Chain A
């Protein structure tokens, strides 16, 4: 099958599963999960050199979900990739399990590289992993997915300066620019724009894409790693709640839980039923 179509189909299924999980487990951050689905599926089904059967392979690419509250999306993608059976996710949100709002530590779930959730930690940890690749003469790449709200955190910019300063060109960050943070428009909370210029000024190669357009994402990832020693920042313009018309760009879905009727409507829109 055409890679673009394959990824788009997977994204629909993942979106549906996330919404159903949100309904069943009363899981928030639905809008934030839906905005990054296409980025995750593109990475896991076309870009990342990872082996679900050997999740600790030394030379694997590392993916860090720096916006840890997108974990319900990542959990679905990792299951689809084969890191664990999809049925494991039936226990989502149950007492004593590992599947909740944020990723657990790597030893508790294959495929996870860092337990994120406190914003501003994942990308700097990923920078350390990218530096380790160079120090140890390996050649893996590190990808970190950031929220736009997460860019409020100072450590993101500390890491951005260090990565560019030390020419850590095997680090790629993707900013899920869905224009919202928890309680307000990202641009109204802090001086977020022009975000692309900021990363460029910090010494990064920058690429701006439609974060729901698989071809644009594939094209952006094909330009990484750069040949000029710079790390790469992909600004992915996304829509919070993408894929379901009544959730799109409505920040109430940062915390709102869908009812059974809304789940059904979502699945119809996604073409799942």
Chain B
């Protein structure tokens, strides 16, 4: 996914002279082509993310379109106040990209995990929050973000994530994409964890439960239009994210339900309110937190039987 980011941001930089890429000393060789194509518009800002975010705001307030890139915790929680004040308060059109979101870097420990980013950035006025599910959505997310005049946060994976879409048309920020239609349950997913959701949907189909799998690539603004329809047409909504259960996709759906007096059964699947103290691969971490397809299918099956 990060290779797709590097490729797409380079393509856009050639087309759009406003684009400036700021990196927090990350992506060795990843941006060589960008640097070749637009040497005046690439800055390695060093390991100083607070300053990098303020610099991005300054660039944006001067008519340029900065894209800030580093590992997710460092481009979100590390510099939250700069995002809040310099970017959002000033309505500066900065695109913030967090690579290795969720448990992508499970083996690096909680310093590099990112299970709070969507929750906290979602609280900021003006900010859009996106979690594309694959490289296709990421490319579209970047191009769509550049059309907005407001800040956008995009959390992405690292590498090797499966492509979910063969091709993608009519992509819009805030409009979810139905990956597979279904009748009984709506399974809305934020980010690359959707591959586990698709696997779960297959297993549930074998048990006679029809699951619609949706890429909810934008959690703010929320695709309420889809949710209102889902509340009418399905018996249950499951939200799935590689993020804490507090305040992410599940949290925003719960708020939407409360604000609109919606009564459909909704289950939040995400990580618990804890730090993961043991190391392991992303697969290990997903397994531990019940976020693998087989486990998801098991949980959803039981919930569905008890409706």
Do these two chains really belong together in a complex?
A: yes
Contact residues of B between 18 and 64, Cβ < 8 Å to A:
20, 40-41, 43, 45-46, 48, 50-51, 54-64
Contact with B along A121-133 (1 / 0, CB 8 A): 1001111111111
B29 to chain A, nearest CB (A): 21
Q: Is the CB of B54 within 8 A of A155?
A: yes
23 sampled A-B residue pairs with Cβ under 8 A: A105-B89, A106-B61, A106-B90, A115-B89, A118-B81, A121-B85, A125-B54, A127-B55, A127-B58, A128-B59, A131-B55, A131-B58, A132-B59, A132-B64, A134-B40, A135-B59, A136-B64, A154-B50, A155-B51, A158-B48, A162-B48, A162-B55, A166-B43
Instruction: Give the residues in chain B near A98, CB-CB below 8 Å.
Output: none
Q: In the bound complex, how far is the Cα of B50 from the Cα of A114, in angstroms?
A: 16
Contact with B along A109-153 (1 / 0, CB 8 A): 000011100101100111111111111100000000000000000
Contact with A along B74-97 (1 / 0, CB 8 A): 000000011001100111000000
Residue of A nearest to B20 (CB): A135
Q: In the bound complex, how far is the Cα of B48 from the Cα of A102, in angstroms?
A: 26
Q: Is the CB of B54 within 8 A of A121?
A: yes
The answer, yes or no, to whether A25 is at the interface (CB within 8 Å) is no
Known: A136-B63, A158-B51, A161-B48. A124 touches B58 (CB 8 A): yes
Q: Is the CB of A162 within 8 A of B45?
A: yes
Q: In the bound complex, how far is the Cα of B56 from the Cα of A105, in angstroms?
A: 16
Residue of B40, B54, B81 touching A135 (CB-CB under 8 A): B40
Contact residues of B between 236 and 279, Cβ < 8 Å to A:
none
Q: Is the CB of B48 within 8 A of A132?
A: no
Q: Is the CB of B43 within 8 A of A113?
A: no
The answer, yes or no, to whether A159 is at the interface (CB within 8 Å) is yes
Residue of B20, B82, B85 touching A115 (CB-CB under 8 A): B85
A256 to chain B, nearest CB (A): 28
Q: Is the CB of A132 within 8 A of B90?
A: no
Known: A105-B90, A162-B45, A162-B48. A113 touches B54 (CB 8 A): no
Residue of A58, A105, A128, A154 touching B55 (CB-CB under 8 A): A128
Residue with the greatest number of chain A CB neighbours at <10 A, chosen from B41, B51, B60:
B51
Residue of A nearest to B84 (CB): A118
Residue of A nearest to B45 (CB): A162
Interface size class of A (residues with CB under 8 A): 20 to 34
Instruction: Give the residues in chain B near A125, CB-CB below 8 Å.
Output: 54-55, 57-58, 61, 86
Which residues from chain B sit less than 8 Å from chain A, CB to CB?
20, 40-41, 43, 45-46, 48, 50-51, 54-64, 66, 81-82, 85-86, 89-91
Instruction: Give the residues in chain B near A166, CB-CB below 8 Å.
Output: 43
A117 to chain B, nearest CB (A): 8
Instruction: Give the residues in chain B near A134, CB-CB below 8 Å.
Output: 40
Q: Is the CB of A114 within 8 A of B40?
A: no
Instruction: Give the residues in chain B near A132, CB-CB below 8 Å.
Output: 58-59, 62-64
Residue of A115, A130, A136, A159 touching B54 (CB-CB under 8 A): A159
Q: In the bound complex, how far is the Cα of B6 from the Cα of A164, in angstroms?
A: 27
Residue of A58, A131, A159 touching B43 (CB-CB under 8 A): A131
Q: Is the CB of B56 within 8 A of A128?
A: yes
Q: Is the CB of A128 within 8 A of B61?
A: yes
Known: A113-B61, A136-B64, A161-B48. A128 touches B90 (CB 8 A): no
Known: A136-B63, A158-B48, A162-B48. A128 touches B81 (CB 8 A): no
Instruction: Give the residues in chain B near A131, CB-CB below 8 Å.
Output: 43, 55, 58-59
Known: A128-B61, A132-B62, A136-B63. A118 touches B85 (CB 8 A): yes
Instruction: Give the residues in chain B near A128, CB-CB below 8 Å.
Output: 54-62, 66
Q: In the bound complex, how far is the Cα of B82 from the Cα of A135, in angstroms?
A: 22
Known: A118-B85, A162-B46. A136 touches B62 (CB 8 A): yes
Contact residues of A between 85 and 120, Cβ < 8 Å to B:
105-107, 113-115, 118, 120
Q: In the bound complex, how far is the Cα of B78 from the Cα of A210, in angstroms?
A: 38
Instruction: Give the residues in chain B near A130, CB-CB below 8 Å.
Output: 58
Q: In the bound complex, how far is the Cα of B86 from the Cα of A125, in angstroms?
A: 8
Q: In the bound complex, how far is the Cα of B55 from the Cα of A155, in angstroms?
A: 11
Instruction: Give the residues in chain A near B57, CB-CB below 8 Å.
Output: 125, 128
Residue of B nearest to A130 (CB): B58
B163 to chain A, nearest CB (A): 34
Q: Is the CB of A129 within 8 A of B62?
A: yes
Residue of B nearest to A117 (CB): B85
CB-based closest 9 A-B pairs: A128-B58, A124-B54, A132-B62, A158-B51, A158-B48, A128-B55, A125-B58, A129-B58, A128-B59
B23 to chain A, nearest CB (A): 12
Q: In the bound complex, how far is the Cα of B60 from the Cα of A106, in angstroms?
A: 13
Residue of A nearest to B55 (CB): A128
Q: In the bound complex, how far is the Cα of B22 from the Cα of A127, in angstroms?
A: 13
Instruction: Give the residues in chain B near A135, CB-CB below 8 Å.
Output: 20, 40-41, 59, 64
Residue with the greatest number of chain A CB neighbours at <10 A, chosen from B58, B66, B85, B91:
B58
Instruction: Give the residues in chain B near A165, CB-CB below 8 Å.
Output: 46
Q: In the bound complex, how far is the Cα of B55 from the Cα of A129, in angstroms?
A: 7
Residue with the greatest number of chain A CB neighbours at <10 A, chosen from B41, B55, B63, B86:
B55
